[in-house]
Structure 1
Amino acid sequence: MLLDALPDRQGLDRLWAILPAARLVGGCVRDLLAGLVVNDLDMATPEPPEMVQAALQAQGIKVVPTGLAHGTVTAVIDRRPYEITTLRRDDRTDGRHAVVSWTQDWREDAARRDFTINAMSLDRSGEIHDFFGGRDDLAAHRVRFVGDPARRIAEDALRIFRFFRFDARFGTTRPDRGALDAIIAASSLVDALSAERVASELLRILAGPRAVHAVTSMADAGVLVRRLPAAHLHMDRFRRLLDCDPPADGTLRLGALCDAPDLGSILRLSGAQNARLTAMRLSNVLMPGADDDDLRRACARTDLEALLDRTWLAQADELARPDAGWSDLRARLVALPRPVFPLSGRDAVKAGATPGPGVGQALRKVEAWWIEAGCRPDRAGCLRQLDVVLAASPD
């Protein structure tokens, strides 16, 4: 039985004992059928959320009301979350948000989902309920919208990006024509999406499988340039980076695809993500063949993540041929102990520096000397250089 593929069913069986009409829904059913590892178990049930919450709590299960307005509660069993949502229909949508009401009709609930492969459900007996041909589409590596693609997109324009993400993961080299036609016709709808939602989907696309296929399809459909500035898009560089087999890191891949200086603002990225994009665009890059002194100098000035990012982008820029030493360079960077400047302000004061700005100035001069020497001088050598710096400084 399909359910036997789950590594741990104790929590699920406990929920089914309380909510026997509930079913597994969405991505977990799809992934079970595809033979993939299932991480999140989402369920749907005909009972309204208040009844679900009360029934679970009566059996001593912790319940978090994560989305009561949309019929969702989260049961926590042995620290594992199970999201349980009441069957629902969309009464009104505006392309971003939906007003819903409850239903007991499983087909009606499935009809509001995005793609056929995400609209299947699985009951406690192991029977799959598939109203729209999702199982056949999954076997055929075909990603199709449920029902009318234009209507599904009008309900939530983020489904445009989700289509490209799922097509890259489960589709083939030819996306569904009906879906593409609807996306091209409705591409302007992505303009109204929040930058945060777009960024979340885009980073998942870039970090996912067949990212070049997905990005190329988005570009061909006119979607990419609606949210990223065309003058700063570098499709060839992005393809070359992926040819280098980089890590599945959406931020790194975004940096290769688009070098707009205000990209962080355009996508409302976090401060850390924005800082990383800025750092990877700087030009001081280590090249294969750099000696250990060069590596230590670089590591003393720049954090490791930025150095590694720059090597990936440099490899994409410089090479259309095999590795040529880049992997070895990155391995050396990772293995290299981080150089730590051995002096502090207390050392400068003890050596005779007047407390105040002069302490920092003296230390910066010694640190620059230490870095130039490949970060090799030890504490004693740095103290001697500190004496030299202080002796040369005006009183």
Structure 2
Amino acid sequence: MTGLQAARADLAPLPGHDGLTRLFDLLPDARLIGGSVRDLLCGHVPSDLDLATPEPPERVQALLEAASIKVVPTGLSHGTVTAVIDARPFEITTLRRDDETDGRHAVVSWTSDWREDAARRDFTINAMSCGRDGRIHDYFGGLADLEARRVRFVGDPGLRIEEDALRILRFFRFTARFGGDVIDGPALAAITAHATLIDKLSRERVASEFLRLLGGPRVVAMLRAMAEGGVLPHVIATTDARIAQLETLIVRGLPADPILRLVMIATDAVGAARALRLSNAQIARLEAATSASAEKPAPDWDDDALRRARSLESARTLTDRTWLAQAENGACGDWNALRARIEAIDQPVYPLTGRDAASVGLKPGPAMGQALRSVEAWWRAGGCRADRAACLARLREIATS
């Protein structure tokens, strides 16, 4: 065997290796599992170190507590506890089989059969495990698939999707990262046949997975594959033209910001965000970016125009709007230079308050508010250049007129 198939994982350089060693001492039959193993084989540092063990969760918890290791019962009903060693969490899950599933939730029981546990996982590249000696246990050809840049479901793709329809979106996200140019045919056929199951998922789960896909690599290719498979309409309303627009902007430097990319592809970004139940902060960002009443940025803005806009909006809102304006106006002008100027400028702050108005003899009430707004409009019209002294002088003129 060659390449990945001949590999043993080297665990020694892992961040958290000392904690991992302690856990292997307590649970000698435990193995690293899933994404931890996949990332190791790809030469990446795993973001999480997840383990599986034949020991039931109650015994795992007891062993950890006896060794004075902090234990968090994160999911005892599903066999999962989290050990915290030197502030690093290690998720430990008892080997399981699915007894019942409705496409969203599963009723599980424990098993000591590693292959049986691996058979319930989503993709072959996520179904491998690795013992403390670095040996890779691969029951379904995950090593070969990883080397061939092929993402396949474990076993029958239709059954895997029926167990959890979110695997449809996960398939495209993992294909974007680990797959090649050719998408697995049986997987795509099963996805097309089961696309409507996405409608039964919570919008929060769909949103979480879809935003991760939008912020990842090869997003345009995956969106087109999702459209071809009939998946995309169950997630978001978009068009081929908007996906093509996204592709053009990515070539021109659009960052891997999922919210910004959502603006580009959604026919109604705010409506899509609400349907996906995004956070209030995310919805507010989209509302600000797409506000019809807001002035659209342009590369030929002079410094005064930029300061005026910056006095009213955050740098992020203005930058978001530059991408929308660029999508409408094409390559005309140096948009990157405009974005650099937006990031470089501090937000001008109107220097007067009600206390200043009182100091020039204005009484609290509508007249005071009108005077302050009048000076603010004058200050902004002048490119926000006037300092506090100049604004006070202007306020005195109004107060004595």
Q: State the distance in 1 between where 2:109 and 2:16 align.
A: 33
Tell me the amino acid that sits aligned with residue 317 of structure 1: E
2:202 to 194, 205, 214: 194
Q: Does 1:15 pair with 2:26?
A: no
Q: Does 1:66 pair with 2:77?
A: no
Q: Does 1:221 pair with 2:232?
A: no
Q: Does 1:325 pair with 2:366?
A: no
Count how many residue pairs are aligned between Structure 1 and Structure 2.
390
Tell me the amino acid that sits aligned with residue 175 of structure 1: I
1:249 match: 257
Tell me the amino acid that sits aligned with residue 388 of structure 1: E
1:102 match: 110
TM-score between the two structures when normalised by the length of structure 1: 0.95
Q: State the distance in 1 between where 2:97 and 2:275 align.
A: 34
Cα contact 1:233–1:258 (8 A) shared by 2: no
Q: Does 1:381 pair with 2:381?
A: no
| SS at 1:3 equivalent | coil
| SS at 1:99 equivalent | strand
1:183 to 173, 191, 211: 191
Give unmatched runs, 5+ long, in structure 1: none
Change (3 A) 1:240 1:317: farther
Deviations 1:90-123 (Å, cap 9, x if unpaired)?
1100011111111111111110000000000000
Cα contact 2:285–2:317 (8 A) shared by 1: yes
Deviations 1:213-261 (Å, cap 9, x if unpaired)?
1111111111111222357982222222222222211000000010314
| SS at 1:234 equivalent | helix
Q: Does 1:275 pair with 2:287?
A: no
Taking every aligned residue pair, what percent have the same amino acid on both sides?
Answer: 58
1:300 to 296, 301, 311: 311
Output aligned runs, 1:346-357, within 5 Å: 346-357=355-366
2:180 match: 172
Cα contact 1:241–1:313 (8 A) shared by 2: no
Question: How far is 1:8 from its partner?
Answer: 4.1
Question: How far is 1:324 from its partner?
Answer: 4.3
The range that moved more, 281-290 or 138-147, is 281-290
1:343 match: 352
Q: Does 1:140 pair with 2:156?
A: no
| SS at 2:50 equivalent | strand
Change (3 A) 1:5 1:220: farther
Change (3 A) 1:221 1:197: same
| SS at 1:82 equivalent | strand
Change (3 A) 1:316 1:37: farther
Deviations 1:155-175 (Å, cap 9, x if unpaired)?
000000000000001111211
1:290 match: 301
Cα contact 1:212–1:242 (8 A) shared by 2: no
Q: Does 1:361 pair with 2:370?
A: yes
Change (3 A) 1:112 1:357: farther
Q: State the distance in 2 between where 1:230 and 1:139 align.
A: 34
Tell me the amino acid that sits aligned with residue 380 of structure 1: A
The range that moved more, 248-257 or 354-363, is 354-363
What RMSD over aligned residues (CA atoms) do the two structures have, in Å? 1.6
Q: State the distance in 2 between where 1:195 and 1:210 align.
A: 23
Q: State the distance in 1 between where 2:241 and 2:119 align.
A: 37
Question: How far is 1:391 from its partner?
Answer: 3.5
Question: How far is 1:187 from its partner?
Answer: 0.7
Q: State the distance in 2 between where 1:362 and 1:194 align.
A: 51
Tell me the amino acid that sits aligned with residue 259 of structure 1: T
The range that moved more, 126-135 or 335-344, is 335-344
Change (3 A) 1:279 1:190: same
Q: State the distance in 2 between where 1:296 and 1:147 align.
A: 59
Cα contact 2:239–2:267 (8 A) shared by 1: no
| SS at 2:104 equivalent | coil
Cα contact 1:232–1:258 (8 A) shared by 2: no
| SS at 1:64 equivalent | strand
Tell me the amino acid that sits aligned with residue 381 of structure 2: E
Deviations 1:194-224 (Å, cap 9, x if unpaired)?
1111111111000001111111111111111
| SS at 1:186 equivalent | helix
2:4 match: none
| SS at 2:196 equivalent | helix
Q: State the distance in 2 between where 1:290 and 1:223 align.
A: 41
Cα contact 2:16–2:88 (8 A) shared by 1: no
Q: State the distance in 2 between where 1:66 and 1:388 align.
A: 66
Q: Does 1:54 pair with 2:65?
A: no
TM-score between the two structures when normalised by the length of structure 2: 0.94
Give unmatched runs, 5+ long, in structure 2: 1-8
Question: How far is 1:5 from its partner?
Answer: 4.2
2:46 match: 38
Q: State the distance in 2 between where 1:241 and 1:166 align.
A: 23
1:78 to 71, 86, 99: 86
